[in-house]
């Protein structure tokens, strides 16, 4: 909602599709949604941890600390963030990549928190419901006038015309009313965002800088536009109002902590390496740049595009600089795993799990390496690690898929079928999920925990239709 709001006929369906698309795989690899449904979602522990740290103090002063608000990264290069339900803030990876400092991104997140704290989505749904009722009434009245005009013959053209006007005019009025309501919501979210930033002793300058940047880029396109047809306030008006509020903050000139800036730059470098073309990465992070973020980006880009030996050498050099950075070990393990050397990937991934305090997405990567090693001695360990991971990250198809393989290697086909069914369900493949769950039910004792879980999947509706 930062840049624009798109009126959707069914916001709850959008949320369901986004949930169905959420998949945990290797760092910053897109999660495949059901074919043609919803945007892919990106998962990465390092990025998600940073986003949670950015939002935690904001959510606390907003009174949302106990609401378990999740950060969801969308695979979209444009700068945008939005809320589509009361439990998640969606952020395009482009917003992270294009935010030059933490404060700019934190300002965006503060604005979105303003929408959550204000209950704007629920209120918008009510406005939409009211508008729909008004449209139905107007349509009935207009249709009635048209019918009367038709029944009385050509002499009642005025009545028929009035009926046509009744059908068309209310729609335009209602549309403008809805857009006006949305503009007011945006203004309220701006004010709330500045309030939250000030309450957490953070500068609102980044929020202002971001809005001003996009205002400058859109001024030409906005010339001549009807201000009442904009879903957000007109850019210049909005930024002017925001600047007035932001400059009142005693923290206007406060700078980001240097350590936080480095972490921000490291995440941006990782996103660039995974999501941009190698030539783009090379231009953004040339060899002349010996900073840690540039070296991080080049190391990842090198392994992604085929030179594993050079990549490992670069990653090892990074580890020498920060030997307790879990994400360097994670990238090393991922490079080895994707390079066809899963047994060698186990040690760095164990280290990454340890240093990250058992981050579930990294545990899943370790479980994948243990399974891919084809060493039966690792089977029980893989099952133990993967079960712990999916217990804490329940919307992660990769964890369930690897768990199914581990159970299959053990010969426990009931659990293997159940885990496969859970993976398919989370991918949005409800047909396969039901088939696998039905087969799992025949392998479990009736009424056992596994049988009950399988039965729940058989009886469930597709995530995209809930």
Which of the pair, 340 or 65, is modelled with greater confidence?
Answer: 340
- Asked if 369 and 345 count as a contact pair (C-beta separation under 8 A), the reply is yes
Residue 35 reports pLDDT greater than 60: no
Q: What is the mean pLDDT of residues 356-369?
A: 97
pLDDT tens digits for range 100-156: 999 999 999 999 998 888 654 544 455 445 545 444 444 454 444 444 455 555 555
Q: Which distant-in-sequence residues (6+ apart) come within 8 Å of 464 by Cβ?
A: 13, 16, 17, 20, 34, 37, 38, 428
Average pLDDT, the chain: 80
Q: Which two tokens stand for residue 261?
A: 């800036």
> For residues 80 and 83, what is the distance between their CA atoms, to the nearest angstrom?
11
Instruction: Determine the pLDDT at residue 152.
Output: 54
What pLDDT, on a 0 to 100 scale, did the predictor assign at position 212? 86
Q: Phi and psi of 393, rounded to 5°? A: -135, 80
Say what the pLDDT of residue 33 is.
Answer: 38
Q: What is the pLDDT of residues 391-443, one digit of tens each?
A: 999 888 999 999 999 999 999 999 999 999 999 999 989 999 999 999 999 99
pLDDT of residue 29: 52
Q: What interhelical angle do 342-355 and 360-372 show, nearest 10?
A: 160
* Predicted confidence (pLDDT) at residue 386 exceeds the cutoff of 80: yes
pLDDT score of 82? 87
Lowest mean pLDDT among 81-85, 176-180, 431-435: 176-180
Question: What digits encode the pLDDT tens for the residues 286-299?
Answer: 999 999 999 999 99
Vertex 5 angle, CA 173 and 213, to 5°: 120
Q: Average of pLDDT values for 258-269?
A: 98
Distance, CA of 304 to CA of 325 (rounded, Å): 20
């Amino acid at each position: 909602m930062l840049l624009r709001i798109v009126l959707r006929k069914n916001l709850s369906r959008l949320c369901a599709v986004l949930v169905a698309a959420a998949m945990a795989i290797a760092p910053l690899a897109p999660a495949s949604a059901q074919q043609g449904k919803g945007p892919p979602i990106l998962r990465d522990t390092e990025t998600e941890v940073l986003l949670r740290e950015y939002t935690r103090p904001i959510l606390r002063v907003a009174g949302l600390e106990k609401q378990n608000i999740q950060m969801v990264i969308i695979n979209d290069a444009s700068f945008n963030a939005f809320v589509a339900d009361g439990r998640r803030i969606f952020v395009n990876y482009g917003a992270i990549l294009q935010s030059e400092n933490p404060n700019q991104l934190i300002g965006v997140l503060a604005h979105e928190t303003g929408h959550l704290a204000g209950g704007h989505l629920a209120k918008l749904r009510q406005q939409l419901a009211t508008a729909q009722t008004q449209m139905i009434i107007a349509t009935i009245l207009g249709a009635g006038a048209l019918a009367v005009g038709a029944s009385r013959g050509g002499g009642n053209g005025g009545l028929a015309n009035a009926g046509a006007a009744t059908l068309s005019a209310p729609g335009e009025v209602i549309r403008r009313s809805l857009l006006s309501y949305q503009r007011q919501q945006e203004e309220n979210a701006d004010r709330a965002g500045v309030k939250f930033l000030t309450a957490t002793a953070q500068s609102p300058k980044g929020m202002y800088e971001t809005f001003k940047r996009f205002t400058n880029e859109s001024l030409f396109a906005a010339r001549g536009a009807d201000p009442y047809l904009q879903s957000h306030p007109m850019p210049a008006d909005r930024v002017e109002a925001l600047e007035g509020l932001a400059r009142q903050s005693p923290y206007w000139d406060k700078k980001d902590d240097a350590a936080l800036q480095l972490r921000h730059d490291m995440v941006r470098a990782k996103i660039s390496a995974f999501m941009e073309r190698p030539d783009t990465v090379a231009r953004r992070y040339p060899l002349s740049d010996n900073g840690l973020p540039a070296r991080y980006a080049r190391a990842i880009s090198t392994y992604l595009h085929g030179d594993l030996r050079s990549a490992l050498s670069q990653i090892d050099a990074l580890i020498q600089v920060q030997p307790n950075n879990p994400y360097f070990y994670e990238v090393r393990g991922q490079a080895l795993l994707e390079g066809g050397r899963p047994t060698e990937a186990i040690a760095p991934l164990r280290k990454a799990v340890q240093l990250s305090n058992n981050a579930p997405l990294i545990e899943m990567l370790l479980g994948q390496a243990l399974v891919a090693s084809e060493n039966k001695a690792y089977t029980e360990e893989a099952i133990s690690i993967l079960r712990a991971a999916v217990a804490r990250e329940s919307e992660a198809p990769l964890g369930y898929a690897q768990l199914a393989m581990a159970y299959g290697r053990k010969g426990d086909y009931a659990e293997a079928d159940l885990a496969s069914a859970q993976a398919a369900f989370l991918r949005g493949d409800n047909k396969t999920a039901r088939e696998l769950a039905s087969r799992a039910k025949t392998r479990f004792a009736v009424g056992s925990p596994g049988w009950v879980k399988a039965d729940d999947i058989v009886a469930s509706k597709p995530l995209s239709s809930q």
